[in-house]
Structure formats: C-alpha cells, structure tokens
Structure 1
Amino acid sequence: MRGLALLFGLVWSLAYAFPRVGVHEGFTRLVFDLPSKEVPYTLTQENGLLTLVFRGISASSLDQVVGSPEVASVQTVPEGGQVRVLVRLKGSVEVSTHRYSDPERLVVDLALRKAPQTPSKPASPSPPDPLRNRTPKPPKPVVLLDPGHGGVDPGMVGYVVEKEVVLDVALRLKRLLEKEGIEVRLTRDRDVHLSPDKRDDLSRRASLADSSQVNLFVSIHVNASPTRTARGVEVFYFGRAQDPRVLAQVIRENGGGELGKRLTQEAQSVAERILSDIVAQANQRYGQRLAETLGRKLAQATGSPYRGTFPGDLFVLRYAKVPAVLVEIGFGDHPVEGRNLADPAYREKVAQGLLAGVLTFLANGAYAR
C-alpha cells in the first residue's frame, strides 16, 4: 500500500466536461472520454493555441477557465459532425498524448518547456540543500463518505439501528484511509440530519459530491428485506433500475412511500439523460467499477455473501461528478448478519473491506490515468 503514493498523484475529480481537466504539480492533464477507439482526432499547436478536432462525436459547448502554469483556458466548440477543442497555452509547452481503453479515452499532458541553461562563472561551493532534489508531494486524493440517514431519520431498525452502524463504520473507515495518506470528508460526523426534510437532506448530501475537490463518493447504508431472511453485500451505482426488487429498494432509500416514488422519478430523469451524454456514461462506468471493487473486497473481508452490483435511480447519487456508489454493508434484520453488525469487531472488518476496495480502485487508476 505504501507504493500507492505515486499513483495518488494522478487522481483528480471526474467532472461532466469534455475534456476533464486536472491540474498537477508540473503539468496539466486533459482527459477526453470517447465512445469507442474508432474516434479519429487531429492535434495541432501554433501561436500559443493547441487545437484538437474529434470527428464523429458530439459534446456540449463549454469554456473552462483553468489558470494553471501551462493552460489559461479550454474551450469546447461543437461543430457539425465533430467537436473542436481550443486550449489556450501559457508560454512554450511540451505536449504528450496517450490512448487508453476500458473505458476509451485520450489523455493529453501539457508541461512547460524547461529553459536552456546558460553557462555561468563557477561559484564558490555552497552547502547542499536537502530540499532541492526532493520530489514534490502528489496531491492527496479526497474521498467523501456519507453515513446514511441520521438525526430524525433512523433508517432501518432491526437488530441494529442503521444510522448508528453506518456512522461508526464511516468513522472507522476515515481513520484507516487517513493512515494511507487519503483526505476524508464526511457528510455528517455525529448523529444529526442535514435537514428534517428528506428531499432536502438527500439533496445536500448529493451536492457535496458535486465538487471539483472530491475524487470518490461512498454512501454507506444497512439493508433490510421483507422476509428478514436475506443477507449479504450489495452495491449500487447511478443508473436506471431494471429489476423490480432493486427499484423497490431504491424507493425505500429515496425516502419510502410516495416521497420515495417522487424522488425516484426525479432521479430517473437524470438517468435518462446519461444515455445521450458520453462523458456521463464514462462516469457511470467508473461508478460501476468502483461498486464491483468495493462489493468484492467487502465480502472477502467479512465473509458475507456478495450479492452483486446494480444500477439504481438513487437520489443521493444523481449529480455526483465523480465515481459514486451506495454500499449496503449487510442486512440489519437478518438474525445472524444483524447481530454481526452490532459487534464492533465486525464493523472493523467492514471498514477494512471498504478500505481495501477504495485503495484497489485508486491503485488501478482506471478513471484518472
């Protein structure tokens, strides 16, 4: 895990933009999410302007102010049957490009050219500076943890109370992640609600994931079943729920009853727009990959069955601009698993499993490489 430090320097938030822009120590990175490897492009650089033209795709018009040492701004201009991207540079810039698959993307790195050194008169030797050759520390990845429910909303109540269990697990996971050099933020750090109104509460949690300062969003919950016999781990990423059982669970997580149905319908309208947005589709794929990684690592750590990952119209995930998931760490109404979730030692295993999932996802670098 110590070897992850260098990889963490490549992490930035996945925004709904074409391209995604990441500013790092010594370079600026542009990531163009593409629908397939067949998309052709051209790249030219002249008079402080880098121009890329992608044929056969569409994207929204956008003008991003970057203000990095290498890039002043990036403008996306949709044209008939193609997209032109204008990158306004600062000074002389070296350009390197890389093409990656699964998902398909073009990565363009821009770094200032080093000025040639001019010979100078030999100076008297000076004591070595221990900081001169030190490698700059990469930026810390930022993980946003959302302990579900809280305050007036207890969540599911069985052998445990959901709001208490998920807060304890989130605090344990925070401690473990921070030991690995990861910055952690919480939507709540005590037994409080963000709003007594369920819609407003979920909207406030969702808005915290709509930030360029966050790299991953993990909402932690405890599951329940009508028969009280189900057990295991399930993880959800944002998308249209296909299975009626999943849809029923989504409605429950969205507040239940008529409120849950209304919020689910609102989230469904967002999910439908993903079908025509290639950048949002890329974010959905990253969310699915994060969900699968967390689910398998959590099941391995706890011995609880892995029930799978599912798309769901979850209100709290609808506007996340980073890989975002809702993880059901177990069934609190199951006679065995519910009692397990009441055990602090088992909750530590849950936190360890989630830690392993997050570290594996970041180390693979699939969405930020």
Structure 2
Amino acid sequence: MRWLWSLCFLWSLALAFPRVGVHEGFTRLVFDLPSAGVAYRLDQEGGLLTLFFSGLRAEARDLLVNSPEVASVQVVPEKGGVRVLVRLKALVEVKAQRYADPERLVLDLSLKKAKDPPSPSSSPPARRAPKPPKPVVLLDPGHGGIDPGMVGYVVEKEVVLDVAHRLKRLLEAEGIEVRLTRDRDAHLSPDKREDLSRRAAMADSSRVNLFISIHVNAFPTRTVRGVEVYFFGRAQDPRVVAQVIRENGGGELGKRLTEETKSVAERILSDIVAQANQRYSQRLAETLGRKLSQATGSPYRGSFPGDLFVLRYAKVPAVLVEIGFGDHPAEGRRLREASYREKVAQGLLSGILSFLANGAFAR
C-alpha cells in the first residue's frame, strides 16, 4: 500500500523536471540531467529551498505538492540556466545525491528530527513526525431523487448509487477514505442547476484528493456500448457536446449550463495550475477507462474533454465516468446484474489504485 502516502497532485509524465514523489517520511525530487557536466547550486533559507542549474533548459512549471515536507515546486527558466524554488512546510533535512547512467540529481527532503534531550527524566521524548492523512476520494453517484437520469434496461440513478456503495467498500478496504455526494435515492436540490452546483462545490475542497462522478450512458439508436470518461475542458466533437448537454441537465437548461461552463473553462484554463490539474484529470480519465474496460470486457471508447458543470470548480483530478450504455440490449441487461456491477466497481478500484501508485512516486 505504498501509494497510501501519495497525497500530492500525482505528477505528470515520467520525464517531468523535476519528478516528484511523496513517500512515507520524505518527499523526493528527481532532476534528470542531460550530462554530468551540469553544475548546480543549492541554498536553503527559512521556508525556501532554491536550486540553480547552470546551462540547463526546462519549461516553466508550478506544482502543488502538499506533502508533509513540501508545499509546492516552481521551475523558473532564467538567462543562463534554470532556477527551482521549493516552498517548504517545515524545517527539513536535505539529502542530495548524484547518480549516473542516467545522469540525475536526487533530493530527499525529510522533517528535521528533534534533538535528543539532555536527560530523559527532565525532557519529554522527541515527537515523531505525524503520518500523512489518508487519501480522500469523493464519489458522486449522478442524478437521484426526482431526477432518474437515463431510463432504459436500467434506471441510471439506481445503478450508479449501487456501484458507488460497492466502490466505497472496496476503497475503504484499501485504507482510502471515501465520501459520497449522496448515499441514498435523493437529489441535492430539486433545481438541477443548484443540484449540480452543490456536487461541484464538494469537489472544491482542500480535503479531497480525487473526484469521480459516476453515470450511465445512452445513445439515440440504442446500438452503442462501451466505457467513456470525461474530464473538464472545451468540448469540440458535436457528439461529445450533445453528451455534455445531456449531463448538464438536458434540453434548454443543459444548453444554458453548458454555455455558462464554457466561460468558466476559458477563464480558468488560462491558469497554469488549472492547466496542470486538467492534465492530471485527463490521465485519471484514461486510467479509469482502460481499467474499467479490462474488468468488464466492455469496449473503451475513449476519454474526452467536456464543459461539464459538475467538474467546473474541481481543484483536484476530477472526471465523469460513463460506466456503460443502459439502453443497449446486451450492456443494459448486464448493468442490471449485481455481479456485473461488482466488476464495474472492481475496475474503478483498479484504476484509482493504479493512478495513485503510478502518478505520485518518482524513482
């Protein structure tokens, strides 16, 4: 369960500069270097650790880490090199080591231990560094109450609630804290806009690490089956736009909320942190889609950006997953089966665990 300590923002590609990993007791920064000739300078003053790499080029980045040791890492290209600003949460000990083949600098940052007391009888024992809290996953069973969602061979609101409860049980068995936007057949508000806003607000929380909204799909011809996953972004494909409108309430309301969400997307996606979160959300979407397809045998139809009202304010990796087509003659009937819903929950579990493990550790 090494990923249990992975409460950072599950960083991007393996060649990112730096690669960031959060481990039990320390945070690791790995700087991949083009050659052994790259020199660096390291300075620590108060809550700021500064590195300067001479003659090196790297893209500007601003990463929210939020580990016990590190708040954020900022990469600033400058004339003659690259400056890296590591904002610390507490006093840390820095262990720096260079490795070859491939060439890299590894920094391990751990909380400074209290000095040994002069006399065990006169001073209390040194306090251990607190363990990081459990990861928190927010599950959103779509629709509910007066809003049934799609109705075909199954009723969407019933299927997604059952899957959410199954997934909650599986995640908790892995040591992950789980919250639900609804735990019974109920809406959050009879007004669809307010209902979606309340769900979105729950994802805009410093105590949530992942947000997953669970839904059942439909198609006019009732001939389509498979798994689709959406992350926040500007929808381009007309079919995706139509699906987004449906999930945003359908009809004129859905069109109105989609237009409103587009303006939000244009505003926040110009922010570097929001852009980074969109990349993490896209990776989460792809991981969940593939793992869900493997577990159920249902085709993976892809992951898509969409102006989804329920995802618009999420500051953590957030996706909307369509677990299958409830109006397809074969897939709709399978979604009625408890054994198949358990496979769906197992697939989502596998995707979440894989995302946590692969995204949060640097080696």
What corresponds to 1:6 in structure 2?
Answer: 2
2:147 to 136, 144, 153: 153
What corresponds to 1:306 in structure 2?
Answer: 300
What corresponds to 1:127 in structure 2?
Answer: none
Q: 1:49-72 CA distances to partner (integer Å, 9 max, x unpaired)?
A: 545689974879x9xxx9x7x68x
What corresponds to 1:357 in structure 2?
Answer: 351
Describe the SS at the equivalent of 1:196: coil
Matched, 1:291 2:285: yes
What corresponds to 2:260 in structure 1?
Answer: 266
The 1:313/1:138 distance shift into structure 2, 3 A limit, reads same
Return the offset for 1:186.
Answer: 0.3
Q: Which amino acid aligns with 2:231?
A: Y
What corresponds to 1:44 in structure 2?
Answer: 43
Return the offset for 1:344.
Answer: 1.3
What residue ranges of structure 1 are gaps of 5+ in the alignment? 16-20, 100-105, 124-131
Describe the SS at the equivalent of 1:155: coil
Return the offset for 1:112.
Answer: 3.5
The 1:110/1:264 distance shift into structure 2, 3 A limit, reads same
Q: CA RMSD of the aligned region, Å?
A: 4.2
CA contact 1:235–1:291 (8 Å) conserved in 2: yes
The 1:79/1:361 distance shift into structure 2, 3 A limit, reads closer
1:167 to 139, 161, 166: 161
CA contact 1:13–1:213 (8 Å) conserved in 2: no
What residue ranges of structure 2 are gaps of 5+ in the alignment? 12-19, 99-104
Return the offset for 1:177.
Answer: 1.0
Return the offset for 1:276.
Answer: 2.5
What corresponds to 1:102 in structure 2?
Answer: none
Q: Which amino acid aligns with 2:165?
A: L
CA contact 1:291–1:325 (8 Å) conserved in 2: yes
2:197 to 203, 215, 218: 203
Larger deviation: 150-159 or 136-145?
136-145
Q: Distance in 2 between matches of 1:158 and 1:330?
A: 12
1:249 to 213, 235, 243: 243
Q: Which amino acid aligns with 2:347?
A: G
Describe the SS at the equivalent of 1:336: helix
What corresponds to 1:342 in structure 2?
Answer: 336
Describe the SS at the equivalent of 2:329: coil
Describe the SS at the equivalent of 2:240: helix
CA contact 1:13–1:214 (8 Å) conserved in 2: no
Q: Which amino acid aligns with 1:11?
A: L
TM-score between both structures, scaled by the size of structure 2: 0.76
CA contact 1:236–1:291 (8 Å) conserved in 2: yes
Describe the SS at the equivalent of 2:270: coil
User: Following superposition of structure 1 onto structure 2, how do residues 1-369 of structure 1 map, counting pairs within 5 Å?
Assistant: 5-12=1-8, 26=25, 44-46=43-45, 49-51=48-50, 57=60, 87=87, 93-95=92-94, 110-114=109-113, 117=116, 139-364=133-358, 366-367=359-360
The 1:143/1:115 distance shift into structure 2, 3 A limit, reads closer
Return the offset for 1:200.
Answer: 0.9
Q: Distance in 1 between matches of 2:151 and 2:89?
A: 57
Return the offset for 1:7.
Answer: 2.2
Q: Distance in 1 between matches of 2:244 and 2:96?
A: 41
Identity score, percent = 72
Describe the SS at the equivalent of 2:144: coil
Q: Distance in 1 between matches of 2:332 and 2:319?
A: 22
CA contact 2:59–2:77 (8 Å) conserved in 1: no
Describe the SS at the equivalent of 2:340: helix
Q: Which amino acid aligns with 2:192?
A: K
Q: Distance in 2 between matches of 1:203 and 1:326?
A: 15
Return the offset for 1:167.
Answer: 0.3
Return the offset for 1:113.
Answer: 3.1
Q: Which amino acid aligns with 1:6?
A: R
CA contact 1:57–1:83 (8 Å) conserved in 2: no
CA contact 1:44–1:51 (8 Å) conserved in 2: yes
TM-score between both structures, scaled by the size of structure 1: 0.75
Q: Distance in 2 between matches of 1:357 and 1:119?
A: 50
The 1:326/1:87 distance shift into structure 2, 3 A limit, reads closer
Q: 1:325-351 CA distances to partner (integer Å, 9 max, x unpaired)?
A: 111011111111111111111111111
CA contact 1:14–1:283 (8 Å) conserved in 2: no
Number of residue equivalences? 331
Q: Distance in 1 between matches of 2:337 and 2:136?
A: 29
